[in-house]
Amino acid sequence: MRTNHPRNKTYKYDVYSCQKHFFFLIPRALPIILGLSDSWLSWRRSILNLQNQNLPDMLHQKFFIWLKVKNTKDLPTTLNILSILVELVSAGGGRRASFLVAKGGSQILLQLLMNASKESPPNEELMVQIHSILAKIGPKDKKFGVKARINGALNITLNLVKQNLQNHRLVLPCLQVLRVYSANSVNSVSLGKNGVVELMFKIIGPFSKKNSGLMKVALDTLAALLKSKTNARRAVDRGYVQVLLTIYVDWHRHDNRHRNMLIRKGILQSLKSVTNIKLGRKAFIDANGMKILYNTSQECLAVRTLDPLVNTSSLIMRKCFPKNRLPLPTIKSSFHFQLPVIPVSGPVAQLYSLPPGVDDVVDESDDNDDTDLEAENETENEEDLDQNFKNDDIETDINKLKPQQEPGRTIEELKMYEHLFPELVDDFQDCDLISKEPKPLVFEGKVRGPIVVPTAGEEAAGNSGNLRKGVVVKANVSPIGDEGDKKPTFVDLAKEDTKDNDRTLQQQLGDQNRTISSVHGLNNDIVKALDRITLQNIPSQTAPGFTAGMKKDYSLPLTVVTCSKVCPHMTTCGNVLFEGRTVQLGKLCCTGVETEDDEDSESSSSVEQASVETCDGPTLHDSDLYIEIVKNTKSVPEYSEVAYPDYFGHIPPPFKEPILERPYGVQRTKIAQDIERLIHQSDIIDRVVYDLDNPNYIILEEGDILKFNSKFESGNLRKVIQIRKNEYDLILNSDINSNHYHQWFYFEVSGMRPGVAYRFNIINCEKSNSQFNYGMQPLMYSVQEALSARPWWARVGTDICYYKNHFSRSSVAAGGQKGKSYYTITFTVNFPHKDDVCYFAYHYPYTYSTLQMHLQKLESAHNPQQIYFRKDVLCETLSGNSCPLVTITAMPESNYYEHICQFRNRPYIFLSARVHPGETNASWVMKGTLEYLMSNNPTAQSLRECYIFKIVPMLNPDGVINGNHRCSLSGEDLNRQWQSPNPDLHPTIYHAKGLLQYLAAVKRLPLVYCDYHGHSRKKNVFMYGCSIKETVWHTNNNATSCDVVEDVGYRTLPKILSHIAPAFCMSSCSFVVEKSKESTARVVVWREIGVQRSYTMESTLCGCDQGKYKGLQIGTRELEEMGAKFCVGLLRLKRLTSPLEYNIPSSLLDFENDLIESSCKVTSPTTYVLDEDEPRFLEEVDYSAESNDELDIELAENADYEPSTQEEVLSDSESSRTYLP
């Protein structure tokens, strides 16, 4: 009978139901069972007497059973009790074992073992039972090894094994307990001194169908023992490495049906342990272990069942692969820039103090080997990780967390920035404003239209020539509106601008149309000459018959290559795209380009088609203007070439690019091919085909060798070595004045043949994780495709993976850490065209010259009566480039007092981007923001009327220009210099902070500060902010967290963006302040300047796993959309923070109070070399092998598996892309 109240619950059982639910009753009834019984029969009677007892009440009875077990002299009772415990633990699993440990079970059982060992001879059955239960509860007791050593149990168990080698029933549980003992390193060494390693090799042996269970346990124990370096050296000294290899080959040959997988895996685990030391690796190589494991791995079928064997073999071989230094004269950058001031301390000071020739010494010490390998393949128990989660990097000092505005500089010092804020003093008396009539100051927020921003999936309507809806692209602005109506509505303004836009767009793109029309007939044999654009001064020549295509005269020498052949689709023949700098683009006519339809390419329709497609091109791109700007861009290598993608420009492709699903077994294949380099060294070509360090290297003209180049703005490729006929190792250049930070790449390839699979291995990456293991693809730009009116970067590559290689980083390059390796990005590409010129990049390139071009186009195209746009120079960089500062707001309605006051009192929004050069996605987001702010969209006009925008679109111009990944020319991460920037070494940060300090000094704190970044290990777009309460909450100090009172307004903007931006993910946002981030822009602006809404906005380099773009790789269209959506979010933020000025639904006001619990956990700070901006990527990436399957626990332990992906290879061909409607 059962009552409703939980306290009155009773359970009635008859004999049969009691037996049926035995294992459910035992853990609760354990105290009374064992307390009332002295024999097996009395125990059964106790079970039957439970019918009328309340089980919860029994839990409160004393656990005196342990004393009974300890003191009993009744052997049958002891055996019965132990038998019950064994059954309890076996049926209940880890929970019941933990329960026994919590009640002191392990200590009492060890004492019982000691007492039983004093008998001569000890009772075999008692020893079997004691060791059986110790083997089960020992792993749950963290101090079990210490307890066993103190009680003297180690030698007891070891002696039992030595004296009873033929008694398998007793030896088996003893070996299991030895395995648990060995988890403690001190115990492992102690057992090794007493001969346990030699003892294990007496038990294991060649293939046999008998005693396979004992063999398995012995191998597991041996693998645990060999994790001790002392035991591993002992095994090497006695020649056991050769023995293990021999035994493995024997089991591999005889186990045809794979019934002894665990034994074979146990042998490999022992080899894995012994090769953790340098002597073990040498012994493995001397015993021909590389070839043995390679051959046995190749004989294994490509099925998931054998993954534990293949992947463990692969890991051992990679570990034993001789560590090599990179084939470079120095790991320092190929380029050197002399700093005006040498830092006293830090990595740059250390680099300058190094003697020559010691910057990259290969270190094969054993330090960190064990840690690295285990971290590479094994993950901790998630429950333990959650329970014991603690991050020492989280700031816990409340005084440090509280924002404290620090002036930093005096008012007199800050007056140097007054000229950068003319909007605060300008009276606009000389400006031609829209309205001359004095009007009352009335905020017109209520009459604005709905907030509309084009999404990445929408097509621009009405104006086919304008890709970016609402962006003004006029070079000259004519007066707007009739004389009788001095103030047209915003909609009318937009219509007028659209009409003008249509007229001016054709003029702006006319030359591009003619260019693409002319090159539509390019010859394949001549395209290979289109290797680069040069900026070298060459004596000018004239071209007979050249009359078309000229727009400007830059007064520079001109080189012209003429062609006498008449092209049927052109009235004139020429190959000069612009006058000015020398442009060697080959002959821009002749017999025709490779097209899908030869007939169409010879007809006038091809010209029309090219013209139409070109009109959809980037409205802010001007090839001529780009070249003019590049002339004034200063680089350390003094680049004289321009990359074609930067010259032609990029438009988003018309198709979706899904996240690539990696086919099963690809990483295993790639690693096996790397291992073949050591086994079959005669097959390796090892030919240098590109070398920045040796300017005199010979460029081979053989037809089957690819040509490489990176000598252009933002380019990064240092050296290329041909490994096999169609395989190349690529080495990236370090950041200037640094010896690390290798991740960004941008280079040119030519001389390819179609239908050939070329493999590229970038072998000196440093990050331990990459989205290349999660579906990200590199980007490729084809010149032939661009000449065929398809000028876009496209995601390409198959068989992509990212894994640790055999090239070693010295402790100097690894920030003092020893035993660190580089990582390889590998991908395979099939080029579609013969002798094409293609470019590869880590992400969509966005150069400094591109930014300057875009700003000039925006400035020339804006409506000065409507938009206040000002471009200033914040400062000069170390190499003499200007750092632009942009101011955008709406012009005042008139120059009357009320309107000027409203203008000056608008709150500030301060935005910055691109402090890290390799995060090019940040610039594309910024481009979307700038274009939206400068558009004629009514919402954009409302936004300009609400705020004054101060924007530093590129905080690190020098790093961007010179192809750095993270640093400036000072060799330092500029986003770690905000606390104390040096005006000589970090001028952009010093003056950007000065602007913010000036605003604080004049009581005009920005409402929002946001720094745009890119994230390499996480998907979606998200934000990091600053919160005292959430930081304290993450320290698990709930009492302190409750005492903190904080305005939750910092969550408002991210919450708004999560509602309106498809790529934005609120659950990825974090508002925790870490100690290691105290010198970043986000934290300094929050803490020192006092801006509550201080953010870092991170955009993925890969794609999205939620929302509208789920399963798609991110492109420039989505990034620019994010920049526009950010603007819309700011307008909604204004309406939420100033609700009286707007007529909005009250439900929207709940944004600020609707908190979403952050699911983002903050991990420990990253290393010196891999210093990340924000919390590390938590998604598990098994870069060493391929394990994501939930397989059998016994097989999965310490193993590497292939990821669960589709069996079919997904190519990057057109068929794999989904076209937009």
By CB atoms closer than 10 A (0-12, 13-18, 19+), residue 479 is exposed
* Adjacent-strand bridge partners of 837: 750
Half-sphere exposure of 112 (CA within 13 A, CB side): 29
How many other CB atoms sit within 10 Å of the CB of residue 253? 11
What are the C-alpha distances in Å from 387 to residues 25, 153, 259, 998, 1160?
Answer: 28, 31, 38, 46, 16
- Residue 758 tokens read as 């070329």
Asked whether 593 and 525 are in contact (CB, 8 A), the reply is no
**CA-closest candidate to residue 1005, choices 902, 1085, 885:** 1085
- What backbone phi and psi angles, to 5 degrees, belong to 1116? -65, -30
Helices H / strands E in the chain, number of each: 46, 22
Half-sphere exposure of 37 (CA within 13 A, CB side): 25
- Residue 43 tokens read as 């125990």
Asked whether 261 and 309 are in contact (CB, 8 A), the reply is yes
The end-to-end CA distance of the chain, in Å, is 66
592: left (phi over 0), alpha (psi -120 to 50) or beta: left
Rounded Cα distance, 425 and 515, in Å = 47
At residue 18, what is the residue type?
Answer: C
Is cis: bond before 884, omega within 30 of 0?
Answer: no
**CA-closest candidate to residue 328, choices 809, 917, 705:** 809
Taking the C-alpha atoms of 746, 750, 753 and 754 in order, what is their torsion angle to the nearest 10 degrees? 50
Rounded Cα distance, 1162 and 1152, in Å = 24
- Whose tokens are 């970043």? That residue is 1080
SS3 201: helix
Residues 6+ apart with CB under 8 A from 95: none
Rounded Cα distance, 1209 and 663, in Å = 5
- Residue 828 tokens read as 């395979």
Catalytic residues: 1098
- Residue 201 tokens read as 């090799």
Rounded Cα distance, 979 and 993, in Å = 9
State how beta strands 707-709 and 687-691 pair: unpaired
**CA-closest candidate to residue 520, choices 777, 285, 192, 791:** 791
**CA-closest candidate to residue 1117, choices 456, 408, 233:** 456
Residues 6+ apart with CB under 8 A from 47: 18, 22, 25, 29, 33
Rounded Cα distance, 334 and 691, in Å = 10
Kindly state the helix (H) or strand (E) to which residue 746 belongs, with its residue range: strand 746-750
CB crowding 545-567: b at 16 or more within 10 Å, else e:
eeebbebeeeebebbbbbbeeeb
Catalogue the E-assigned strands of 519-628.
Answer: 533-534
Residues 6+ apart with CB under 8 A from 890: 866, 867, 868, 903, 941, 944, 945
